Chain A
């Protein structure tokens, strides 16, 4: 673009006025076209008995799709599965990550290597992780049952039995998550000013009360970040389910997004209505997130 000609002050004034809008326009078009418009479109579809082959034959039925979804028994199984998965993943990941972070918080060569090692799953596709774990969890020839057997521990059918399939998927997700979250906690702990600990030591504070009064409050913003991102992320679980179990056996690992996915060709109205319900769930979680975040910013 040409440098602004000072003599054409009016022109450059108008230019200055519209420049920011020109700069953000492509970004706004992107989210308008691929986030907000689809969201409205999704809601629109959810009010129709949608005919994929001939859309003109789609019939407006109001909130009937929602009523039918909410009357389906398997919807509640799916909701329950998603909830069990989310709680399991969030709980185990936070507890283990905290433990690992405190263990590896000091800067040393070995700690760095271990941190880098446990972070590895985060840069690798869930496709690969799922396939590797399917093979590890293979009941007859898999490494996992062999190791358990050699240690005289009970073996499991893992993904192939409806009683252990959900736990198996949770294990894989937790295994994949720990490295990333432990690292964030390590960074948070290392960011606490040393002067706080020195003051506490002068006061002869016990290790427990230092942990409770200094460390935990100081890393609470990060813990909160982890809690929210992981809850929202877990609600959207799909890849592991689709690759490892396809929702089975007996729907024991069918989760919301997989449920939506399975309706995408057979009943698009249903799929859209569940999609809207998922938006509402994520929306509520997000509002809680921003509410508390706003408080935290104010507090600091």
Chain B
């Protein structure tokens, strides 16, 4: 390489690191603020590294609301949705992929249309239904509406269609029931697609804000996202060190999981994006 091209490679690398920083600085700034005193958050120039780490901020954030309950609700809601979706999605995707039946095209297009209709539109009637069913003070309004993962059925069907029919017919000759075929052949073969869909489901429901905001009226049923967003009202607008401490509690577990599995997660998201 010539001297000139070494220089361009170097500049190129520096610019890429700057780009990376534009995306990392907000998170680093969040972590730094969460460990500062109130005075440090108000200084000009801003304090980049706190003099002594204020771990007490986390305790203060956690004591401003029932965060144990919030956390438990987030876990229950997210994992219930994932489990129910799996149970409903696998047979449906299999039937749409491998059976011919009357009305198949119409029913499948219903799934696709359902995928395009957002919760931001249907939330009022769903709320009224949940109220009629006396479920508003339970976690069900956050779980039930997501029982059918239309996008997941679509993705999984594409995947199952690639499994050769001969394989399934051979199993049928061995007198395997259809449920056994699903469980012993289809599910193991579709694992990558299932993992992608579940990852997608986890991220979107763990992070969801709109739906729980609408469907919850009491602290007993609120998830973590709502709890953290309410810190602003509880703590007042100026206590940024406490708000950021709460935010760290919400972000860091996901961030750590992401750092250790970034390669897989990126591939999964891109896959679901282009297929």
Which residues in A have some Cβ–Cβ distance to B below 8 Å?
1-4, 17, 19-24, 26-31, 34-39, 41-42, 45, 100, 103-104, 110-133, 135-136, 138, 141, 143, 146, 150, 175, 179-180, 183-184, 186-188, 222, 225, 232, 236, 238-239, 242-243, 257, 260-261, 264, 268, 271-272, 275, 278-279, 282-283, 286
A146 touches B23 (CB 8 A): no
A21 touches B101 (CB 8 A): yes
**Interface of chain B residues 1 through 55 with chain A (CB within 8 A):** 13, 16-17, 19-20, 22-27, 29-30, 33, 41-46
B23 touches A23 (CB 8 A): no
- Min distance, Cβ B7 to any Cβ of chain A, angstroms: 17
Chain A residue nearest to B231 (CB atoms) is A131
Q: Could you say which residues of chain A place their CB within 8 Å of the CB of B94?
A: 23
Instruction: Give bound CA distance, A242 to B111, whole Å.
Output: 30
**Interface of chain B residues 227 through 275 with chain A (CB within 8 A):** 228-229, 232, 240, 243-244, 247, 250-251, 254-255, 258, 262-263, 265-266, 269-270, 273-274
Chain B residue nearest to A112 (CB atoms) is B263
Q: Residue among A3, A128, A133, A257 with the most chain B CB within 10 A?
A: A128
Q: A114-B16, A183-B270 are in contact. Are A35 and B124 (CB under 8 A)?
A: no
Chain A residue nearest to B179 (CB atoms) is A1
Q: Could you say which residues of chain B place their CB within 8 Å of the CB of A20?
A: 95, 99, 101, 104
Q: A117-B23, A260-B120 are in contact. Are A126 and B207 (CB under 8 A)?
A: yes
A118 touches B175 (CB 8 A): no
B274 touches A123 (CB 8 A): no
Q: A3-B177, A236-B118 are in contact. Are A124 and B251 (CB under 8 A)?
A: yes
Chain B residue nearest to A285 (CB atoms) is B116
B265 touches A34 (CB 8 A): no
A31 touches B150 (CB 8 A): yes
Q: Could you say which residues of chain A place their CB within 8 Å of the CB of B229?
A: 127, 130-131, 243
Q: Could you say which residues of chain B place their CB within 8 Å of the CB of A104?
A: 16
Q: Could you say which residues of chain B place their CB within 8 Å of the CB of A29?
A: 148
Q: Could you say which residues of chain B place their CB within 8 Å of the CB of A275?
A: 121-122, 124
A257 touches B88 (CB 8 A): no
Residue count of chain B within 8 Å CB distance of chain A:
88
Q: Could you say which residues of chain A place their CB within 8 Å of the CB of B254?
A: 123-125
Option from A34, A42, A132, A146 in Cβ contact (under 8 Å) with B147 = A34
Q: A3-B177, A31-B111, A239-B209 are in contact. Are A39 and B117 (CB under 8 A)?
A: yes
B23 touches A42 (CB 8 A): no
A38 touches B125 (CB 8 A): yes
Option from A30, A115, A128, A232 in Cβ contact (under 8 Å) with B88 = A30
With an 8 A cutoff between CB atoms, is B163 at the interface?
Answer: no
B247 touches A35 (CB 8 A): no
B175 touches A27 (CB 8 A): no
Instruction: Give bound CA distance, A183 to B89, whole Å.
Output: 27
B89 touches A27 (CB 8 A): yes
Q: Could you say which residues of chain A place their CB within 8 Å of the CB of B13?
A: 110
B232 touches A136 (CB 8 A): no
Chain B 195-237 interface mask (CB, 8 Å, partner A; 1/0): 0000000010011111001100000000001001100100000
Chain B residue nearest to A179 (CB atoms) is B23
Q: Could you say which residues of chain A place their CB within 8 Å of the CB of B65?
A: none
B274 touches A141 (CB 8 A): no
- Min distance, Cβ A214 to any Cβ of chain B, angstroms: 18
- Min distance, Cβ A73 to any Cβ of chain B, angstroms: 23
With an 8 A cutoff between CB atoms, is B76 at the interface?
Answer: no
Q: Could you say which residues of chain A place their CB within 8 Å of the CB of B210?
A: 238-239
A19 touches B99 (CB 8 A): yes
Option from B24, B87, B116, B265 in Cβ contact (under 8 Å) with A286 = B116
Q: Can you offer 19 A-B residue contacts whose CB atoms are under 8 A?
A: A3-B176, A20-B95, A39-B117, A39-B125, A42-B121, A42-B125, A113-B20, A119-B269, A124-B255, A127-B250, A135-B240, A143-B25, A143-B29, A184-B270, A187-B273, A222-B274, A232-B116, A243-B209, A282-B118
Instruction: Give bound CA distance, A124 to B23, whole Å.
Output: 12
9 new A-B contacts, CB < 8 A, other than A26-B87, A126-B207, are A34-B144, A38-B126, A42-B125, A125-B206, A146-B45, A238-B210, A239-B210, A264-B124, A286-B116
Q: A34-B148, A131-B243, A141-B41 are in contact. Are A225 and B274 (CB under 8 A)?
A: yes
Instruction: Give bound CA distance, A242 to B212, whole Å.
Output: 13
Chain B 124-142 interface mask (CB, 8 Å, partner A; 1/0): 1111110000000000000
A146 touches B44 (CB 8 A): yes
Instruction: Give bound CA distance, A222 to B148, whole Å.
Output: 26
Instruction: Give bound CA distance, A103 to B46, whole Å.
Output: 33
With an 8 A cutoff between CB atoms, is B161 at the interface?
Answer: no
Chain B 174-193 interface mask (CB, 8 Å, partner A; 1/0): 01111100000000000000
Q: Could you say which residues of chain A place their CB within 8 Å of the CB of B247?
A: 128, 131-132
The 5 closest A-B pairs by CB, nearest first: A30-B148, A125-B207, A41-B125, A38-B125, A23-B91
